[in-house]
A and B are shown apart, each in its own frame.
Chain A
């Protein structure tokens, strides 16, 4: 392909207009004016993101079914699941803080995983699910609000604070939460939106090579 026929690309951070260049496997194209990463060539991105999405969905279900942490003080014990923690704060009248935790640590991660599976499972078996564009847009909007890795740090800080006064009983969900954090990071680094669009283009007119 001659240089002048390659597709145009505009940098999302400085709007410089460039032509796409072919990339080696695992390579990344950067904007030559501001250095922003424009796109990456991730081998086997659809299969990998699907595998990681399924693992994170399973871990997410485990995380939400078992107590995260328990404490024990002279025989008096208390343990909560993630959802119970949110519920307890809501009952204490802290509605904003409770909703914030619910949205960023439960709702958005769940929605993100659900949408990823809705997109990737049909594409994997050769179909195009309806509503790809609005879903890609939605994924883009909600992405900054999924904060599982920050919550993980929150658990660690809480542990350090609690360990002085209480005996800690780590729950099943705690270990699953570590796994969930890792899996969601793997999804984020393996998912390549360009592959989804390329797949759509192929399906629509067959002109894209």
Chain B
């Protein structure tokens, strides 16, 4: 019989993270392998907290230069401008594209901030063994996983514009150094979200039982 309110790990079972097969694992001495797909079985992602913190801190460090340095340089015969992410959005807004400005604002400003804050809060809550609002926290985690990729929007727009707008001296677009940091923030936060193991949040319930 299985306990309908308890985790697999608490009952000595480990689910294969590739094929999903549930394997009994009562002794933890050597890493066992999944009998179906030969993947190394682990109760939780190894060093999840530490890796996630490391990636997150690196993302925080890159966040400021990503937002302060030039993202895109635009030159025409009569004008020349350097835009950061935010000034680019304001320029779009003022030039009759408020809809697109909002989309870029959400993808480039809101999503990265949201990811950084939510992952930090989730890590802190796991560290404290908090049992509060598990259902809300798992939903926050799912949103982070889902929206993270959309931050790549600005990188793609930059790639297309910088490649296409190269018409002698009449019109040129160049990518700025800010884009390197911005790309790094997107990639680092995506890796951080992947390293985070949401099952750790629910392990706080298990600790309560064993006391």
| CB contact under 8 A between A17 and B183, given known A104-B152, A154-B157, A158-B157 | no
CA distance A4 to B2 in the complex (A): 9
**Given contacts A17-B8, A88-B166, A104-B152, is CB(A161)–CB(B199) below 8 Å?**
no
With A and B bound together, what is the CA distance between A140 and B20 in angstroms? Answer: 12
Contact A157 B36 (CB under 8 A): no
Contact: B104 with A157, CB < 8 Å? yes
Contact B152 A14 (CB under 8 A): no
In the bound complex, residues from chain B placing their C-beta under 8 Å from that of A160 are 97, 100
A105 with B190: CB separation less than 8 A: no
Contact of A153 among B15, B153, B166 (CB under 8 A): B153
Contact with A133, one of B17, B38, B107, B166 (Cβ below 8 angstroms):
B38
Name the B residues within 8 Å of A12 (CB-CB).
Answer: 15, 17, 20, 199
Interface membership of A61, Cβ < 8 A: no
Partner of B149, one of A10, A13, A150, A193: A150
Q: What's the minimum C-beta distance from A8 to chain B, rounded to whole angstroms?
A: 4
Q: Is the Cβ of A85 less than 8 Å from the Cβ of B163?
A: yes
Instruction: Compute how far the CA of A200 lies from the CA of B35 in the bound complex, rounded to whole angstroms.
Output: 12
The contact string, 1 if C-beta is below 8 Å from chain A, for chain B 162-188, is 111111101100110001100110110
Q: Check A85–B164 contact: CB distance below 8 A.
A: yes
Contact: B167 with A85, CB < 8 Å?
no
Residues of B within 8 A of A85 (CB): 159-160, 163-164
Among B6, B38, B150, which residue has its beta carbon within 8 angstroms of that of A17?
A: B6
Chain A, 21-50, contact with B by CB distance < 8 Å: what is the 0/1 string?
000000000000111100100000000000
Q: What residues on B are CB-neighbors of A35 within 8 Å?
A: 135, 138
Interface centre among B20, B92, B155, B180 (most CB of A within 10 A): B155
Contact B9 A34 (CB under 8 A): no
Select from chain B the residue with minimum beta-carbon distance to A91: B163
Min Cβ gap A41→B in Å is 15
Identify which of A10, A79, A157, A194 contacts B153 (C-beta below 8 A): A157
Q: Which of A52-60, A66-74, A116-124, A181-189 makes up part of the contact surface? A: A66-74
In the complex, A89→B179 CA distance in Å?
A: 12
Contact B13 A17 (CB under 8 A): yes
Q: Which residues of B contact A157 (CB under 8 A)?
A: 100, 103-104, 153, 157
Give the residues in chain B near A127, CB-CB below 8 Å.
none
In the bound assembly, the distance between CA atoms of A80 and B176 in angstroms comes to: 21
**Chain B residues with CB below 8 A from A165, complex form:** 76, 171
A9 at the interface (CB under 8 A from B): yes
Q: Is B19 an interface residue (CB 8 A)?
A: yes
Q: A84 contacts B163, CB within 8 Å? A: yes
20 A/B residue pairs, CB under 8 Å, sorted by A: A10-B7, A12-B15, A13-B141, A18-B4, A34-B202, A73-B167, A73-B170, A78-B166, A88-B166, A97-B179, A101-B159, A132-B37, A136-B37, A140-B18, A147-B149, A150-B153, A150-B156, A162-B161, A197-B36, A200-B36
A residues within 8 Å of B by Cβ? 4, 7-10, 12-19, 33-36, 39, 68-71, 73-74, 76, 78-80, 84-86, 88-89, 92, 94, 96-98, 100-101, 104-105, 132-133, 136-137, 140, 144, 147, 150-151, 153-155, 157-158, 160-162, 164-166, 193-194, 197, 200-201
Given contact pairs A13-B138, A154-B153, A197-B19, enumerate 19 new A-B contacts (beta carbons under 8 Å).
A12-B20, A15-B7, A16-B7, A17-B8, A33-B5, A35-B135, A71-B167, A76-B168, A78-B165, A89-B175, A97-B179, A100-B183, A133-B37, A133-B38, A157-B104, A160-B100, A193-B20, A197-B21, A200-B36
